[in-house]
Amino acid sequence: MTGMLTIAGLGPGDAALITPEVAPYVARVAAREGLVLHASDNRQELLRAAEAMRLAAAGRRVVVVSSGDPGVFAMASAVFEALEASPQWQGLIIRVLPGVTAMLAAAARAGAPLGHDFCAINLSDNLKPWPLIEKRLRLAAEADFAIALYNPRSASRPEGFARALEVLNEAGCGDRITIFAHAVTTADERIDALPLRDARPDMADMRTLVIVGNSTTRRAGRWIYAPRRAS
Amino acid sequence: MTGMLTIAGLGPGDAALITPEVAPYVARVAAREGLVLHASDNRQELLRAAEAMRLAAAGRRVVVVSSGDPGVFAMASAVFEALEASPQWQGLIIRVLPGVTAMLAAAARAGAPLGHDFCAINLSDNLKPWPLIEKRLRLAAEADFAIALYNPRSASRPEGFARALEVLNEAGCGDRITIFAHAVTTADERIDALPLRDARPDMADMRTLVIVGNSTTRRAGRWIYAPRRAS
């Protein structure tokens, strides 16, 4: 078995944020002789992972790419899930190449809203029950974490973000500065910030990352940051 | 005012993980004519930030570097804190250049322990009271987040990690797979994993990032991952 499976993170969009470790794989995604692109639906992650592993086990050098970091709400978990289900593939050489995940790029553009303790919650994942998401939002508010919300307006759960805003408002987060980072680091980038109570569901779309500040998150000029000090 | 302040993240250690956006600044850190290095103690973040801003306001092109991502428990928050305290500097051009933060690199080496909802808690920061950290650990356990612990054995709070392990054990996390990622992506890298109840404080040092899995985190061969599904 000479195949290898590489799971690579492409970063948030700008080529200047693709690590040198990953960059060669991106260059190779351009069509060329001997390269086969296996496109698949984003919702079919497990099938895609299993197919990648099957090709690698057959001796191919396979690359599975994700935007952002492959380990954060992306393909890496699906690959290992497929691996666990198929012990005959556990000798495969696998490498995970990290990337700049969306919340880091969004935070950098806004200032430093993740400079103090924080959490990241995926609103899109239809593999977890919605009450669990609400529970996590309430506990995150109580813990006074800054909260990064991935996939706020996913196709599979478009109504979730409106409810998430309600839950956080009910949990007393109405004053918290909330950042909508749209298509961050791309030509379409747009960063908006406002108190949570004024946030509307339609401010987020499929390319938006939302960061809800903690109770001490504040502005310094045009920047938004979480102070290092907490009480 | 022609100065500029750049806050750049160097990633976890390996040069292959320094983004192309940041790489030119790293090359410039080598001594050369016209370059002044202002070294400062890690605990003097605010003084360092103010000094960087003063130099930029005087027309210099100043770079503040942090390992990992500058916005995650690093220099960016201190810079904006200094900026807020000095309104006369709020016209300065400031850029934050994100990087691969330690938990992403550690997760990639271990598998995909951050593939489901997670949080990041800084155990070192002596600017927050310890009871707040304990509260966050308990709530994070209740939320069933994977938990990335930064600076588990800091000089300023060496006893904190032992207590953090106690708190998580008391919160019912004894079975959770816990990853100790030491000096990740460097020549000294070492990844260990074991149930939380068997973890000992001395397994972490100043170069260790700890990830406590969630209740469903599991192994697939030599890999550790958080399944996408939760109930």
A187, two tokens: 């030509």
A64 neighbors A49 (Cβ within 8 angstroms): yes
CA gap B2, B56 in Å, rounded: 8
Those of residues 207-226 in B touching chain A at CB distance below 8 A are 218-223, 225-226
A19 neighbors A11 (Cβ within 8 angstroms): yes
pLDDT band at A39 (very low <50, low <70, confident <90, very high): low
Position with higher pLDDT, A150 vs B41: A150
What secondary structure does DSSP assign to A168-217, as a single string?
A: HHHTT-TTSEEEEEESTTSTT-EEEEEEGGG--GGG--TTEEEEE--TT-
pLDDT band at A29 (very low <50, low <70, confident <90, very high): low
pLDDT band at B29 (very low <50, low <70, confident <90, very high): low
Note whether A131 contacts B: Cβ–Cβ < 8 A: no
Those of residues 92-111 in B touching chain A at CB distance below 8 A are 94, 96-101, 104-105, 107-109, 111
Task: Indicate yes or no: CB of A112 within 8 angstroms of CB of B77.
Answer: yes
In chain B, what residues touch A230 (CB-CB under 8 Å)?
127-129, 132
Task: Indicate yes or no: CB of B129 within 8 angstroms of CB of A228.
Answer: no
Q: Nearest C-alpha of chain B: how many angstroms from A15?
A: 8
Minimum-distance CB partner of B81 among A15, A121, A228: A228
Q: Report pLDDT digits (tens) over B137-182.
A: 999 999 999 999 999 998 778 899 999 999 999 999 999 999 999 9
CA gap A144, A106 in Å, rounded: 20
Those residues with Cβ within 8 angstroms of residue B69's Cβ, 6 or more apart along the chain or in another chain: A100, A104, A108, B9, B98, B99, B100, B101
pLDDT of residue B101: 98
Q: Report pLDDT digits (tens) over B53-85.
A: 999 999 999 999 999 999 999 999 999 999 999
Minimum-distance CB partner of A81 among B45, B70, B228: B228
Which residue blocks in chain A are alpha helix, DSSP H? Answer: 23-28, 45-57, 75-85, 102-110, 130-143, 160-170
CA gap A69, A137 in Å, rounded: 23
Q: Which of B26, B47, B81 to mutate to test the interface with A (most CBs of A within 10 A)?
A: B81
Q: What percent of chain B has pLDDT over 70?
A: 95
A137 neighbors A147 (Cβ within 8 angstroms): yes
In chain A, what residues touch B142 (CB-CB under 8 Å)?
139
CA gap A114, A107 in Å, rounded: 6
pLDDT of residue B126: 79
pTM above 0.90, yes or no: yes
CA gap B194, B215 in Å, rounded: 14
Read off the pLDDT of each residue in B85-96 and give the average, rounded to a whole number.
92
pLDDT band at A127 (very low <50, low <70, confident <90, very high): confident
pLDDT of residue A42: 56
Nearest to A71 by CA among B169, B171, B118: B118
Note whether A15 contacts B: Cβ–Cβ < 8 A: yes
CA gap A28, B62 in Å, rounded: 36
B37, two tokens: 């290095």
CA gap A204, B153 in Å, rounded: 39
Residue A147 DSSP SS3 = strand
Note whether B70 contacts A: Cβ–Cβ < 8 A: yes
A166 neighbors A133 (Cβ within 8 angstroms): no
E strand or H helix at B131, and its extent?
Answer: helix B130-142
Task: Indicate yes or no: CB of A112 within 8 angstroms of CB of B96.
Answer: yes
pLDDT band at A225 (very low <50, low <70, confident <90, very high): very high
Q: Are strands B118-122 and B146-150 parallel, antiparallel or unpaired?
A: parallel
Per-residue b or e along A116-144, where b marks 16 or more CB atoms closer than 10 Å to that residue's CB: bbbbbbbbbbebbeeeebbebbbbbbbbb
Task: Indicate yes or no: CB of B104 within 8 angstroms of CB of A98.
Answer: yes
Q: Which of B42, B44, B136 to mutate to test the interface with A (most CBs of A within 10 A)?
A: B136
pLDDT of residue A31: 67
